[in-house]
Amino acid sequence: MFKGSLVALITPMREDGSVDEKAYAEMVDWQIKEGTQGLIPVGTTGESPTLSHAEHHRVTEIAIEVAKGRVPIMAGCGSNSTEEAISLTRHAKESGANAALIVTPYYNKPTQEGLYLHFKAIADAVDLPIFIYNIPGRSIVDMSVETMARLAKHKNIVGVKDCTPLNRPIQQRLAIGEDFCQLSGEDGTVLSFMAAGGHGCISVTANVAPRLCREMHDAWADGRIKQAIAIQDRLTPLHDALFSETSPGPVKYAASLLGKGTERCRLPLAPVMEPTKERVRAAMTAVGLLN
């Protein structure tokens, strides 16, 4: 169900810090029309840590309502509280999401057994496909290949969003099998990840360059490797610029240049610095997104 070019959606906000539902709905529709193959609302890029539960629910619901089944929806449902993650996953299922994305619990630093029990409890509680989000750089803990293989035996745990070294998708494919859906969470290494057995990418850059990201995945899938590499090379300075400060600050600024909401993030994320703005604008111009 999930493959190719997927987007970790930003959550547009008004200048007063409230969620801009109109801009968000327009972003969802634009993404689909530009060729994005799946939407991931309220992940880290969607500023889930600073959304209230009511806002979290509403952002998920808007994505599902606007998509109208045109592309699948993987709702961010992660928490460092197992009960809260279960509650968010239940809401995602009730709202009509196709899957849930659940990050490894941050700050708590659970053991491998704790990670196993956390994900098993969620998968037991809600009959919805679950993708593990393994991102040690943000959550501090790293799910081992062995723990992931153990969890993959559960019928509801179907894949991973992976932000680990590039030997990991090979190890996971060998340990679990090719049917376990492996999605990259790193824009800069997408083609390397695909070559290692990946199925697609949950992209930050696709927020502002959805058509190019889709074209790159299509070229790869069609065996037009040189063309895929050429698009990757074209996008690389933009990838780098969008992570020159903590995401989603730079990508929200980039989206604002396209008229896709304001650059506003919620504290503790500060407005991006002027040198970052200059770098983002230059990269977008070089890619051809700005005149």
Q: What per-residue confidence (pLDDT) applies to 1? A: 84
Q: What per-residue confidence (pLDDT) applies to 253? A: 98
Assigned domain for 269 exists: no
Assigned domain for 179 exists: yes
Assigned domain for 64 exists: yes
Assigned domain for 228 exists: no
Q: 248 preceded by cis ω (within 30°)? A: yes
What are 50-108's pLDDT values in tens digits? 999 999 999 999 999 999 999 999 999 999 999 999 999 999 999 999 999 999 999 99
Assigned domain for 182 exists: yes
pLDDT-derived band at 262 (thresholds 50, 70, 90) equals very high
> Given a cut of 90, is residue 291 above it in pLDDT?
no
Assigned domain for 231 exists: no
CB of 104 within 8 A of CB of 133? yes
Q: Ramachandran region of residue 259, left (φ > 0), alpha (ψ -120 to 50) or beta?
A: left
Q: What per-residue confidence (pLDDT) applies to 30? A: 98
Assigned domain for 129 exists: yes
Amino acid in position 289: L
What distance in Å separates the CA atoms of residue 188 and residue 65, rounded to the nearest whole number? 31
Mean pLDDT on 1-15? 96
Give the structural domain span for 74.
Answer: 4-221
CB of 29 within 8 A of CB of 71? no
Q: CATH number for the domain including 182?
A: 3.20.20.70
Q: What per-residue confidence (pLDDT) applies to 235? A: 98
Mean pLDDT on 234-240? 97
Q: How many domains does the chain have?
A: 1
In which order are the strands placed within the sheet that holds 157-162? 38-40, 4-8, 200-203, 181-184, 157-162, 130-134, 99-103, 74-76
Contacts (Cβ under 8 Å, ≥6 apart) of 78: 43, 48, 85, 88, 101, 102, 103, 104, 105, 133
Q: What per-residue confidence (pLDDT) applies to 281? A: 98
Structure tokens at 81: 């509280």
What distance in Å separates the CA atoms of residue 216 and residue 232, rounded to the nearest whole number? 7
What are 149-187's pLDDT values in tens digits? 999 999 999 999 999 988 999 999 999 999 999 999 999
Which residues are tagged catalytic? 133, 161
CB of 208 within 8 A of CB of 281? no
Q: What percent of the chain has pLDDT over 90?
A: 99
> Given a cut of 90, is residue 191 above it in pLDDT?
yes
Contacts (Cβ under 8 Å, ≥6 apart) of 99: 1, 2, 72, 73, 74, 75, 128, 129, 130, 131, 158
Assigned domain for 262 exists: no
Comparing C-alpha atoms, which of 54, 76, 57, 94 is closest to residue 6? 76
Contacts (Cβ under 8 Å, ≥6 apart) of 215: 35, 231
> Given a cut of 90, is residue 119 above it in pLDDT?
yes
CB of 20 within 8 A of CB of 261? yes
CB of 207 within 8 A of CB of 11? no
What DSSP line would sit under 127-161, residue for residue?
A: -S-EEEEE-HHHHS----HHHHHHHTTSTTEEEEE
Q: What percent of the chain has pLDDT over 70?
A: 100
What's the mean pLDDT when you consider all of the chain?
A: 97
pLDDT-derived band at 269 (thresholds 50, 70, 90) equals very high
